[in-house]
Structure 1
Amino acid sequence: VTRVTMRRYTDAGIAASIARGDPFDKAGAYAIQDARLGPVAAYQGCYCNVVGLPLWTAARLLGRAGLDITHITTTDLLPQCGNCTLR
């Protein structure tokens, strides 16, 4: 489980995001990694879980399926994966 705290938005910020078309290609109308909108004030848990795929969990499952994952390191993933609670 990842807990996400959204920041407060201004009407102008919402209008600008809509004008750019930002929310229309996202399942939840935002992306945690959206630098222009910067929608998230804080999160606790797995960053990649919010993006859509918890990479450490995926790596573990691939390992159980027989793939060699011993070479995967934090630098192979996202910078946020280094502190992941699923690691």
Structure 2
Amino acid sequence: MKRILSIILLSSLLGLSLGSYASQPSQPVQPRQPGQPPQPQQPPQPIQPTQPTQPTQPGQPIDPTQPQQPNCAPGNPSKLPTCPR
């Protein structure tokens, strides 16, 4: 009994898969119109990376005579170094 049921199930699955394969239309080849050259494919444009700009903090003019302080947090035990006093 199980064998008959498995054969029926297998044959129905096979029939469905073949039927769906046969019903799919093939891709039609579009004929080229006379007088029009084939369109060349353009190569993709290379993406130029943008360089991030570092914004200056307003109200603090940059003095070229003073050495630049690294990003720091006074008294903050985080990954940032502590500011020199």
Normalising to structure 1: TM-score of the pair? 0.14
What's the TM-score once normalised by structure 2's chain length? 0.15
Q: Which has the higher strand share?
A: 1
* Greater RCO structure (CA 8 Å; 6+ sep): 1
Compare CA radii of gyration and give the structure with the larger one: 2
Higher helix share: 1
